[in-house]
Amino acid sequence: MVIAIVQPDIIWEDKLKNFEKLGRIISAIPDGTDIIILPEMFNTGFSMNPGELAEPPGSQTYEWMKRIAGERKCGICGSYIIERDNLYYNTLLFVSHEADVYSYDKRHLFSPGSEDRLFNHGQERIVFSFRGIRICPNICYDLRFPVWSRNRNDYDLLVNSANWPGSRRDVWITLLKARAIENQCYVAGANRVGIDGTGIRYSGDSMIIGPRGEVITSSRSGVECFITGDIRIDDLNDFREKFPVLKDGDTFTLGS
């Protein structure tokens, strides 16, 4: 499976300009790419203004993602602000040209940035399959909580869609590798660059990590770009069979 990660300088709270910019970047991604991964709140930046920016399911941003997936014959995912039943969620949406749609609501809301005061916590860890790869989606701060993403022998690729500040870039890189190693899986982390509307600077450092913690591909720090990398399920299964760490893991029940 070929994965592309888009690392943009997100325009603050301007959906149409972000769609235009992302469209230009995506147009240069090679044909044959299976999944395109976008950062957290890719259409607005990490804004705490859900009252103005939230959308109902199936509206403007979904239609844009659906169009891109259809034109590129691929899956595309990233998070944005969704309103359901008068509540706001930071939701990662996955849309494919085969008409598959999956959604994940961010579980761990970033309390230092007051995200937990404005948004509702997600309640469900999800895993879905796309073109033979089992995918577990996370959003940004989720990366710090390994129990939530613990591999129960049920996924092959952990996707993290993030707005991770450059001041904590070493933590970002370390945790991406840790999640890959402990879960014997591929990890794809999509981050942004530039400075957002609150003055926070982002370095990007988007990358795809292999199950041994090896970097398969990574972006240049601070540069708007896309990267692509190939993940191979046969290689992953072979590694898991030869070094069966997951079977020795602890069982547990996840609380609320």
Task: Write the pLDDT tens digit of every residue in 92-104.
Answer: 999 999 889 999 9
How many angstroms separate the Cα of 27 from the Cα of each of 1, 20, 247, 256? 19, 11, 42, 42
Instruction: Please name which of 44, 42, 52 lies closest in space to residue 206, comparing C-alpha atoms.
Output: 42
- Give the total residue count for the chain: 256
Q: What pLDDT does 165 receive?
A: 98
Q: What pLDDT does 99 receive?
A: 82
106 is annotated as an active-site residue: yes
Task: Write the pLDDT tens digit of every residue in 60-77.
Answer: 999 999 999 999 999 999
21 is annotated as an active-site residue: no
251 lies in some domain? no
Instruction: Please name which of 93, 113, 228 lies closest in space to residue 163, comparing C-alpha atoms.
Output: 113
Instruction: Please name which of 178, 149, 151 lies closest in space to residue 244, comparing C-alpha atoms.
Output: 151
253 lies in some domain? no
254 lies in some domain? no
Write the CB contacts of 167 (distance below 8 Å, at least 6 apart in sequence). 201
Q: What pLDDT does 117 receive?
A: 98
Q: What pLDDT does 28 receive?
A: 98
Query: In this prediction, what percent of the chain has a pLDDT beyond 90?
Result: 95
Q: Which of 21, 40, 66, 115 is catalytic?
A: 40
Confidence of residue 44 (pLDDT cuts 50, 70, 90): very high
Task: Write the pLDDT tens digit of every residue in 160-213.
Answer: 999 999 999 999 999 999 999 999 999 999 999 999 999 999 999 999 999 999
The full 3-state SS of the chain, as one line of letters, equals CEEEEEECECCCCCHHHHHHHHHHHHHCCCCCCCEEECCCCCCCCCCCCHHHHCECCCCHHHHHHHHHHHHHCCEEEEEEEEEECCEEEEEEEEEECCCCEEEEECCCCCHHHCHHHHCCCCCCCCCEEECCEEEEEEEHHHHHCCCCCCCCCCCCEEEEECCCEHHHHHHHHHHHHHHHHHHCCEEEEECCEEECCCCCEEECCCEEECCCCCEEEECCCCCCEEEEEECCHHHHHHHHHHCCCHHHCCCCCCCC
pLDDT for 131 beyond 90: yes
pTM over 0.75: yes
pLDDT for 50 beyond 80: yes
185 lies in some domain? yes
Q: What pLDDT does 215 receive?
A: 98
Confidence of residue 256 (pLDDT cuts 50, 70, 90): low
Mean pLDDT for the stretch of residues 115-140: 98
160 lies in some domain? yes
First to last CA, the chain: 34
Q: Which residue has the higher pLDDT, 250 or 127?
A: 127
Residue-range definition of the domain harbouring residue 228? 2-246
Q: Which of 74, 77, 140, 185 is catalytic?
A: 140
CATH of the domain at 221: 3.60.110.10
Task: Please count the structural domains in the chain.
Answer: 1
Q: What pLDDT does 138 receive?
A: 98
Quick one: how far is CA 128 from the chain centroid? 14
Computed over every residue of the chain, the mean pLDDT equals: 97
255 lies in some domain? no
Q: What pLDDT does 250 receive?
A: 84
Task: Write the pLDDT tens digit of every residue in 228-251.
Answer: 999 999 999 999 999 999 989 887
Other beta carbons within 10 Å of 27: 10
Q: Which of 21, 55, 66, 106 is catalytic?
A: 106
138 lies in some domain? yes
242 is annotated as an active-site residue: no
